[in-house]
Amino acid sequence: MKLRWTKTTLLLAPATVLAALLFVYPVFGVLKLSVHDGTAFTTDALRQVYNSQLSIIVLQRTFVTAATVTGICLVMGYPMAYFMAGLSPRKRVLATYLILLPFWISILVRTYTWIILLGREGILNKALAALGLTAEPVQLLYTPMAVHIGMVQILLPIVILTCLTSILDVERDLVKAARSLGASPRQAFWKVVFPLSVSGAATGGIICFILCLGFYVTPTLLGGRTSTLIANLIDLQVHKTLKWDLAAVMASTLLAATFSCLLAYWALTRKRSEFATGGLAR
Amino acid sequence: MSSTGATIDFRSVRKTYGKFVALESFSMHVKRGEFMTLLGASGSGKTTALNALAGFTEIDSGEILIDGVPITRLPTEKRDIGMVFQSYSLFPHRNVIRNISFPLEMRGVPRAEARRRSEKALQMVRLDALANRMPHELSGGQKQRVAFARAVVFEPRVLLMDEPLGALDLKLRETLQLEIKDYQRQIGCTVIYVTHDQGEALTLSDRLAVMDKGQVLQIGPPEELYDKPQSRFVAEFVGANNILKVEGAEPGSVMLEGLGRVSGHVAHLIAASFASIRPELIQIRREASGAHRATLAEAVFFGNSVRYVLRAADGKEISAIEPRRPGQDVLPLGTPISFDLNVADLVALKG
Ligand SMILES: Nc1ncnc2c1ncn2[C@@H]1O[C@H](COP(=O)(O)OP(=O)(O)O)[C@@H](O)[C@H]1O
Ligand SMILES: [Mg+2]
């Protein structure tokens, strides 16, 4: 028993040291920077950020964008996952490959693709003009919409796959049981499959939301001035204005938001595993 | 709870999966309120037959009727069939009482009445105290009782059970067998029960159908299948048995593996390829007075009986069960003995 404990410690040690050096230490550095000016504790930076209209607007926009993108991903992703769950295993593997295909291409390239599609001279505008629907090019690129589209495209596969896993976790016999007990296919879905997979879908949503909060490339390339997100603002403070303390406050805010999401995630998965394995009651 | 059971008819049902034939000219009539068991090895098509009846599988040809009405075009939920699965299939997000009331909810039964009826069903399976438990807080036997209550609470005309006791240990299985039979008598619905356990089939059924390779080989009451198997497969599958090859026949006598020439009432054996005889119908003689000589090859002590394996003159092994009185010794291996049997007890079998 003791030996095993020592072994575990030894095996975990390198990863722990690495995480401490490369993650925990800098994060504490950032946290400290947001409330400490090098000589004493201060709330200057905090007050500056939270009194600045710009940072409040950008923070708000970041959360609203993250929520909207997550919502769109869930609304699109869950039904797609449900469809995939109904496929034969072979077709499902094929569909999974197709969904994962974009992951083999860098985010940068995928984002640039949207410039080709949505630009003034882009394919979409040319098509609209050719069909005679628009007289002159429509502004599609550098709008919040472009940012949303770009983010959804990148995050949708993750949401589909988490939803798929949770739908496949619902035993097929449960649907058969529901049908034999008088449920129509629709009722079987809403009374059995949905309640049993919704928390899994929600965890996918939380992952998506957390990833959204840190998006940088997409708003930079596809967004205009009205779609700057918090990551862009942090970058600005670090590289252009060199106000690292302000950057640190914003980063800490982001960190706090992420941790709240992780708490929610943890609560959800705990509830899920309780259903699945008997959890606490056993 | 009570229901007037329905009649069920399978008429030449055929079901294939690609090239594989899962059901072939499957025909069966089940009477109102009857307890019918489908008995067969794993892969013989039992579940496929139930799925076809419940509407989970579309059949290629043939027809299935409930109370004389064709149902093959009816969706599952309109067929009014209760079903119990081996995996229990309780809804993990609903507590016991809400699991049981699910079918009533689906049928739009008012809440209070649904509650009352669910509680009654729960009382029948004697789990009233567990109404608010979640499924994961129940033991296997309790889960299956809840699943049973849920499958009958809406008083279906037909109840299907697919190896419902397969996941339980022997002791619990025996208790639940008796319970299931008892509940079915109370409710009166028609039951089709699936099992690969021949003992269970003999215990529970009014009639049973032995299946092999998607076909019904023989159908009848347990006594009939036990006493008068028609084929070698049924003779071997239902109960313990001795299968003896018919090696030659002439009017008045037949040559049988293990027994040699047998004469007397053998007319029924003349056209057969095999004959069978149950171990309990063989009488062991401790002296050489019996008609057939053998040596003892094996003895298994069961307390109230002893199962002997006898090696006959031609090397054929024949098993015999001898009831045992207190104090009676188990014969030592290698003892030369003899045995008798009643020629009329030999059952003629097709290949
Ligand atoms: N969906 C399916 N696709 C292909 N083959 C199947 C399918 N379902 C069942 N089978 C085959 O049909 C045969 C009968 O299966 P089943 O009815 O489940 O047998 P049992 O319940 O008697 O064990 C098996 O050999 C099985 O492999
Ligand atoms: Mg089966």
**Segment B130-179, tens digit of pLDDT:** 999 999 999 999 999 999 999 999 999 999 999 999 888 989 999 999 99
- pLDDT at residue A277, as a whole number: 45
CATH of the domain at B316: 2.40.50.140
Q: Measuring from each residue's beta carbon to the nearest atom of ligand 1, which residues come in under 6 Å?
A: B 17, 20, 22, 40, 42-48
- For residues B247 and B305, membership in a common domain is answered with yes
Q: Provide the pLDDT confidence category of residue A64 given band limits of 50, 70 and 90.
A: very high
- pLDDT at residue A276, as a whole number: 54
- pLDDT at residue A273, as a whole number: 62
- pLDDT at residue A282, as a whole number: 29
Nearest CA to CA, how far is B144 from chain A (Å)?
13
- For residues B180 and B82, membership in a common domain is answered with yes
Q: What does the pLDDT look like over B292-339, one tens digit per residue?
A: 999 999 999 998 999 999 999 888 999 999 998 888 888 888 888 899
Q: Is the pLDDT of residue A278 over 50?
A: no
Q: What does the pLDDT look like over B167-187, one tens digit per residue?
A: 889 899 999 999 999 999 988
Q: Nearest ligand to the C-alpha of residue B87?
A: 2
CATH of the domain at B120: 3.40.50.300
Q: Domain for residue B91, yes or no?
A: yes
- For residues B166 and B254, membership in a common domain is answered with no
Domain boundary residue, one of B230, B265, B291: B230
Q: Ligand 1 centre from B24 Cα, in Å?
A: 13
- For residues B226 and B127, membership in a common domain is answered with yes
Higher pLDDT, A270 or B341: B341
Q: Domain for residue B1, yes or no?
A: no
Q: Is the pLDDT of residue B245 over 90?
A: yes
Q: What's this model's pTM, rounded to 2 decimal places?
A: 0.84
- For residues B264 and B306, membership in a common domain is answered with yes
Nearest CA in chain B to A174: B89
Average pLDDT of A80-90? 94
Q: Is the pLDDT of residue B101 over 90?
A: yes
Do the chains contact at B107 and A183, CB–CB below 8 Å? no
Domain boundary residue, one of B230, B255, B278: B230
Q: Provide the pLDDT confidence category of residue B265 given band limits of 50, 70 and 90.
A: confident
- For residues B26 and B165, membership in a common domain is answered with yes
Q: Domain for residue B235, yes or no?
A: no
- For residues B112 and B246, membership in a common domain is answered with no
Q: Residue B128 is encoded by which pair of tokens?
A: 């009233």
Average pLDDT of B95-108? 96
Considering its fold, how many domains does chain B have in total?
A: 2
Q: What is the domain range of residue B267? A: 240-349
Q: Which of B51, B71, B93, B96 to mutate to test the interface with A (most CBs of A within 10 A)?
A: B93
- For residues B223 and B285, membership in a common domain is answered with no
Question: Which residue in the block uniquely carries the two structure tokens 């293990």?
Answer: B258
Average pLDDT of A205-234? 91
Domain boundary residue, one of B211, B230, B249: B230
Q: Domain for residue B2, yes or no?
A: no
Distances (CA, A) of A74 to A78, A219, B140: 6, 21, 36
Q: What mean pLDDT is reported for chain B?
A: 93
Q: Ligand 1 centre from B143 Cα, in Å?
A: 26
Q: What does the pLDDT look like over A3-19, one tens digit per residue?
A: 677 888 888 888 888 88
**Does B76 touch chain A if contact means CB atoms closer than 8 Å?**
yes
Q: Please name the residue whose Cα sits nearest to atom 21 of ligand 1.
A: B47
- For residues B168 and B206, membership in a common domain is answered with yes
Distance CA(A158)–CA(A163), nearest Å, equals 9
The residue to mutate among B10, B14, B19, B20, having the most atoms of ligand 1 within 8 angstroms of its beta carbon, is B20
Mean pLDDT lowest for which of A232-236, A270-274, B189-193? A270-274
Q: What does the pLDDT look like over A43-62, one tens digit per residue?
A: 888 898 889 899 999 999 99
